[in-house]
Amino acid sequence: MEQQKYTCPMHPQIMEDEAGSCPICGMTLVLTKAENNHSGSHHNGMIADFKSGFM
């Protein structure tokens, strides 16, 4: 089984074992695979964070 990590869409150097917020910008960390940090799946988390600013 692959280990799952959470990363910040804006700060890919931030890698955590659990969901939470980026310590740099506060964005919600998104789930990613540890060996593929740039899979393109970050965009969904970025869109959700962006939209939440208008609600």
Please give the distance of CA 15 from its chain centroid, rounded to a whole number: 8
- CA-angle at 36, arms to 16 and 4, nearest 5°: 40
Evaluate whether 31 touches 15 at the Cβ level (below 8 Å).
no
pTM of the model: 0.55
Per-residue pLDDT tens listing for the chain (55 residues): 567 899 999 999 999 999 999 999 999 999 986 554 455 556 767 777 777 777 6
Which among 20, 21, 6, 25 has a CA at the least distance from the CA of 37? 6
The pLDDT assigned to 8 comes to: 94
Domain boundaries, the chain: 4-52
